[in-house]
Chain A
Amino acid sequence: MNAAAKVIGVCFLLLAGLGGYLLVQASVNYVNITEASTLIEDNLRFEEVRIHLPEGPTDRARVEVVFNLTNAGKIPVAVITLELGLYMDNRSDPRDPVDKMADIYVGAGAVSVSPEVASPVAPGTWSLVTVPVLVQQGTDEYRRFNVTEGGRYFPLIPSPKVVVSFPEFDVTYLFYLPDTYYSPLGVLPVG
């Protein structure tokens, strides 16, 4: 092997080293993202539902659905979209909830931020995400919302749509939360 070929050989080995590094790092990142995506579905949970009743005749009722996001993965994760539909169970209606969904629908709520400005949750930490739902008085939605039993509300929130991003990698992951929120004891309004 002559000198020029030796130089090419050294360059070849250096590029192979770089290629190997890229391959290993991409594999590790891919595994970490997949792991985080898998874990996030089990670690995003309903924390509570807060109901703020309107104070004045023109105010809107405000329902806050609070989620707890615990990052059990190895990379930061951020919720960039959370969409949900709010239903208010009418317990005097004996039908199965699935059959009366159209009659108890109150409204939709969502939070959405771009991945660049989303607040990432570091590995091993947790964060709360609040999704507001506003209900205007005097509407059909408000009539469906304002159904109580002993002063308690019975909100029903089935499978919210969630989009999370992994800020380090510019990767997003969409899923539907498998849980449905429903409290058989009901929710008292705040204040």
Chain B
Amino acid sequence: MRAFAWSVLWIAAGAVAVSGFFVSAFFPDYSALRLKDSGLPILLMPLLFGFFLGVLLTEVEIGHVVVASLLMTVFALVLVAVFLFAPVLANLPSVVEGLTLFTIRNVGLSATLLFPLTITGSVVGHAFAAILLPPEQMKEEIRRLREETRRWHEELRRLQGERQGETPKELEEPKH
């Protein structure tokens, strides 16, 4: 339950971050962040936040990470849509009549761009974290597996030595 709550938090936080930077990149005139080059944040931010999400969800299965990145993207697109229709939600008439088509085109483009980028980022992040930043539970599991493997090897060598009529001295008292 706790892990689920954390996952929801990361998904929500990622969606807010992705949509915030996305809107700033697409509509720099309205944003406090006057970005000169809008292409780079549109491509890099979903990748980066997907990567972060993958790192933060190291303890869950890769399939769940992909689902989480999909949810993050869908939620981010909902927030982008809320931004685009903010004047309508504020009961203002749409003065820019061309915006509706522009809006749909942008949301469509964002959907196309965001999904593969966040998923790629999350998968890479998950793999990266599993190798370089394994969680304590995974570390313990790996340690136990190594220990067990070592004991099996020792046992096999001992049995092999017995069969040949000699027991290696270093295996008489196994070190733990």
The reply on B69 being an interface residue by CB < 8 A is no
Q: Mark B22-45, 1 if CB is under 8 A from A, else 0.
A: 011001011111000000000000
The answer to whether B136 has its CB under 8 Å from any CB of chain A is yes
Q: A26-B83, A30-B87, A34-B95 are in contact. Are A21 and B13 (CB under 8 A)?
A: no
The winner among A9, A15, A19, A169 for most chain B CB atoms within 10 A is: A19
Q: Does B56 contact A (CB under 8 A)?
A: yes
- Contact partner, B13, options A1, A16, A22, Cβ 8 Å: A16
Contact check, B27 vs A23: say whether CB atoms are below 8 A apart.
no
Which of the listed residues A1, A25, A169 has the most CB atoms from chain B within 10 Å of its own CB?
A1
Chain A residues whose C-beta falls within 8 Å of the C-beta of B19 in the assembled complex: 19, 23
Contacts of B33 in A (CB 8 A): 22
Say whether B31 contacts A12, CB under 8 Å.
no
What A residues does B129 contact at CB under 8 A?
A: 5
Interface residue SS majority, chain B: helix
Q: A31 and B86: CB pair below 8 A?
A: yes
Q: Is A20 an interface position by the 8 A CB rule? A: yes
Give the total of B residues in contact with A, Cβ under 8 Å: 42
**B residues whose Cβ falls under 8 Å from a Cβ of A:** 10, 12-14, 16-21, 23-24, 27, 29-33, 49, 52-53, 55-56, 58-59, 79, 82-83, 86-87, 90, 92-96, 129, 133-136, 139
Cα of A20 to Cα of B90 in the assembled complex, Å = 19
- Taking a contact as CB atoms under 8 Å apart, the answer to whether B87 and A34 are in contact is yes
Contact between B30 and A15, CB atoms less than 8 A apart: no
Nearest CB of chain A from residue B11's CB, rounded to whole Å: 11
Residues of chain A from 23 to 42 with CB closer than 8 A to chain B in the complex: 23, 25-27, 29-31, 33-35, 37-38
A15 to B139, CA, bound (A): 29
New A-B contacts (18) at CB < 8 Å, excluding given A13-B13, A25-B31, A30-B86: A2-B136, A2-B139, A5-B135, A20-B17, A23-B20, A23-B83, A26-B23, A26-B30, A29-B30, A29-B31, A30-B87, A31-B90, A34-B87, A34-B90, A35-B87, A35-B92, A171-B29, A171-B30
Residues of A within 8 A of B18 (CB): 19
Tell whether A93 is near chain B: CB-to-CB under 8 Å. Answer: no
Specify which chain A residues have a CB less than 8 angstroms from the CB of B52 in the assembled complex.
8, 11-12, 15
Assembly CA distance A130 to B136 (angstroms): 74
A9 CA to B55 CA, complexed, in Å: 9
Sample (30) of A-B pairs whose CB atoms are under 8 Å apart: A1-B56, A5-B129, A8-B55, A9-B56, A12-B14, A12-B49, A12-B53, A13-B13, A15-B52, A16-B12, A16-B13, A16-B16, A19-B16, A19-B17, A21-B20, A22-B21, A22-B23, A23-B79, A23-B83, A26-B27, A26-B30, A26-B31, A30-B30, A31-B90, A34-B92, A34-B94, A34-B95, A34-B96, A35-B90, A171-B29
